[in-house]
A and B are shown apart, each in its own frame.
Chain A
Amino acid sequence: MGRAVSLARSLLPFLVALPFLWALQRWSPPYPTLVLRYVGINIVLAVSLNVVNGFTGQFSLGHAGFMSVGAYATAKTMLALADVQLAFLPEPASDAVLFGFALLVGMAAASVAGLLVGLPSLRLRGDYLAIVTLGFGEIIRSVIQATPPAFLGASLGLSGLPLRTTLIWVGLGAVAVVVMARRLALSTQGRALFAIREDEVAAEAMGVDTTGYKVRAFVISAAFAGLAGGLIAHSVGAIEPTSFDFKRSMEAVVMVVLGGLGSITGSVVAATVLTVGLELLREFQDYRMVAYALMLVVLMLARPQGLFGTAELWDLWRRKRPAASAASAGPPGGAA
């Protein structure tokens, strides 16, 4: 009984989101839908990076690398399954199941890559870790470019991928990453990550398995970056290695820092503002990147801790209830 209730509660965000997304998908015109899809993908990217950079305080610059692993794994799976239809399902349902499966394969592949980068992070901290992750992203790109074209398409990349990414998939992905991050932040695991962020030595002295938790953070973060990669691959219908270069990682870092390191809703808002903002500026072509840079400079001057600091949107209404007001300064407090 208790289990059924907790299951229902964890599914609740998805059940609430689904009709909403379905309606958007159904009635929103194609161009805003596409922009919203990019918003969603950037939310997945930013929130997942926040788990490493914000929660754990490790500075990773290799997020695009995980994204490309996920994108290529998902794309290859979809290409391999191109002629497969599950016999017991009608075609659209079968397509959806197969795409879901391919996304999971992408997440799995990316999390393996996350494990590989997580391991050196056992020894390295701060700048050194940043350089390792940066190098990792570049290695992935170089490896893809150097593999024989028949397999990963080398520098031309893969094209002709089925366009399966819908707003519903992206929306569910975004909800999933937010739910994951929130539940992680409220759990014992999350507390351990915060402890590592605040003081690694003290955390270790208190019996926190710092290396273990750091690797776990990397793996979780990488898995969702892989999800973002899979979604973008099947949104554009083509992928190429240079889409996932260092600049891409930087964009994700900018979103996280802008939203506030450690704030989930901050990352969500920053991803939304930056993606939509750049779209609104499209009319001003030449000044677009100037405006983007200016916006970042102004925001960083006005709020160096990011838009939200470490606070969360959901703290707003929680604070009204007297019992939970104590935990407002740090990471989100109180049980859900």
Chain B
Amino acid sequence: MHRVRGLAPLALLLALAACEKRKAAEDTVASAAASGPAAGAQILIGHVASLTGNEATFGDSTDKGIRLAVDEQNARGGIKGRQLAVKTYDDQGKQEEASLVTTRLVVDDKVSVLLGEVASKRSLAMAPIADQYQVPMVTPSSTNPKVTKDGDKVRPYVFRVCYLDPFQGAAMARFARDTLKLKRVAVLRDVGNDYSVGLADFFLSKFKELGGEIVDDQSYKAGDSDFKAQLTAIKRKKPEAIFVPGYYTEVALIARQTRELGLTVPLMGGDGWESSKLFEIARGALEGSYFSNHYSPDDSGPRIVEFVKKFQARYGGVPDSMAALGYDAARVAMEAMARARDLSGPAIRDAIAATKGFAGVTGVITLDAEHNAVKPLVVLKIEGNAGKYVATVQPD
């Protein structure tokens, strides 16, 4: 009896050892194959995304946008006569996983360019690896200023195709003050989320600077489901609007409870609202609210109309802004690869850094010296469970 009990784990260990060995063998084969790519071999683009976890829709949309862009490029003959392929790994919304899969993409899969992540925290875990192995990385939607920076220096291999939190917060403040002519606004922020806190801070300072008044500054945490206490406090201060720069799940719940309390003022927010789930959960409570976004699918610009049409034909459903940003990130990277003198990391990096006036779906993209995209933002108004284009705010 005892002998049998002891043998089972031993067998398991042996099986495990065998597994590890076989894996190591595969690895050497893979790296041998990739170290000398034939002229006709595929160019790999690596994508790190949160396909599972709390922010799964973000990763999923971005991936769709990227694949659409890459397939189009392939239909046009690829780059330098070579076809492209996308390899996507899920990071489950975790920093360590993002770090691990990035290493795998760079070292084992030998990707030429890295795309991702949506969330700034995870882009921060990817950035040092991109620099270390000299593989250019383009993040579609990490809006935190720190992502492209290493202390005070600019990270040489990290770029982004979206605007920054400071711009987004300030732009919403300008919209509220100048266009909506609001005077009294309350803020309800997610203290557990750097994105939300940053946006709230930048909104606050700009709104005050423009002569508005912040009547209340309340906070919640992602995962909360009851916001009545904060909202009751806000209601007492009689604001004309509430700025809620959170992610879609909580925002939708907040909107419902706001209406339940009889508070009818519009809510305002940032691109974290962008998800079809927002309307599903809010059940109409968000009518008349405003949020800033990277693009609007009902914009009548020819590029946008064409993108929406192609996206709908392939996936069904209107592309959200994460999909549009993924599409643009992939196209900026591919356009740079086509321009680069060869497909080595430093060459592609230089080409991406020189991106100027690129006509993307989310606006005309020019990368500045800090590797950030300088581009306008759109404000959407929610009407009939959809975001309707209201205004474009240009960068200062």
Chain A positions within 8 Å of B, measured between CB atoms, are: 29-32, 34-35, 38, 142, 145-146, 149, 154-157, 159-160, 163, 232, 235-243, 265-266, 269, 272-273, 276, 280, 282, 285-286, 288-289, 303, 307-309, 311, 313, 315-316, 319, 328-329
Contacts and interface: CB of A to CB of B under 8 A. Distances in A.
Given A240-B95, A276-B19, A280-B19, 12 more contacts: A29-B108, A154-B197, A156-B194, A157-B95, A232-B96, A237-B125, A238-B125, A239-B95, A242-B192, A243-B96, A309-B5, A319-B2
B28 to A, nearest CB: 8
A256 to B, nearest CB: 15
> 7 smallest A-B Cβ distances: which pairs?
A156-B194, A159-B124, A236-B99, A155-B194, A30-B107, A237-B128, A238-B124
B2 A38 contact: no
Given A236-B95, A240-B121, A154 B194 contact: yes
Interface in B1-48: 2, 5-6, 8-10, 12-13, 16, 19-20, 23-24, 27-28, 31
B150 A307 contact: no
Contacts, number: 124
Given A31-B104, A311-B6, A316-B10, A238 B95 contact: yes
Contacts of A316: 6, 10
Nearest to A36: B20
Contact of A155 (B8, B27, B125, B197): B197
B151 interface: yes
Contacts of A273: 12, 16
12 contacts: A34-B100, A155-B194, A156-B120, A163-B128, A235-B96, A236-B96, A238-B125, A241-B192, A243-B94, A269-B13, A286-B51, A311-B5
Contact of A266 (B9, B124, B144, B193): B9
Contact of A328 (B2, B31, B128, B194): B2
Interface string B204-221: 000000000000000001
Give the size category of B's interface with A: 35 or more
A79 to B, nearest CB: 10
Given A31-B103, A157-B121, A289-B52, A272 B16 contact: yes
B191 interface: yes
A319 B68 CA distance: 62
B108 A31 contact: yes
B256 interface: no
Interface in B189-245: 191-194, 197, 221
B51 A285 contact: yes
Contact of A237 (B9, B99, B221): B99
Contacts of B125: 159, 236-238
Contacts of A265: 9
Contacts of B2: 319, 328-329
What does DSSP make chain B's interface, helix, strand, loop or mixed? helix
A236 B5 CA distance: 39
A238 B121 contact: yes
A265 B51 CA distance: 34
A315 B103 contact: no
B150 A29 contact: no
Contacts of A145: 191-192, 221
B301 to A, nearest CB: 34
A65 B100 CA distance: 22
A99 to B, nearest CB: 16
Contacts of A237: 99, 125, 128
A294 to B, nearest CB: 16
Nearest to A283: B89
A154 B209 CA distance: 26
A163 B102 CA distance: 15
B100 A35 contact: yes
Contacts of B197: 149, 154-155
Given A155-B192, A285-B51, A316-B6, A30 B20 contact: no
A156 B28 CA distance: 37
A156 B107 contact: no
Contacts of B100: 34-35, 38
Contacts of A303: 8
B191 A155 contact: yes
A237 to B, nearest CB: 5
A237 B9 CA distance: 35
A29 B107 contact: yes
Contacts of A35: 100
B273 to A, nearest CB: 18
Nearest to B99: A236
A117 to B, nearest CB: 22
B6 A319 contact: yes
B112 to A, nearest CB: 17
Contact of B20 (A276, A286, A307): A276
A238 B117 CA distance: 14
A314 B125 CA distance: 39
B146 interface: yes
Instruction: Specify which of B95, B127, B132, B146 lies most central, judged by the most chain A CB atoms within 10 Å of its CB.
Output: B95
A328 to B, nearest CB: 6
Interface in B159-214: 191-194, 197
A269 B12 contact: yes
B9 A269 contact: yes
A307 B8 contact: yes
B50 to A, nearest CB: 12
A265 B101 CA distance: 28
Contacts of A280: 19, 23
Nearest to A317: B6
Contact of B103 (A30, A142, A240, A285): A30
A247 to B, nearest CB: 9
B292 to A, nearest CB: 20
A309 B4 CA distance: 13
Nearest to A236: B99
Instruction: Specify which of A232, A238, A280, A328 lies most central, judged by the most chain B CB atoms within 10 Å of its CB.
Output: A238
A273 B19 CA distance: 10
B90 interface: yes
Nearest to B15: A273
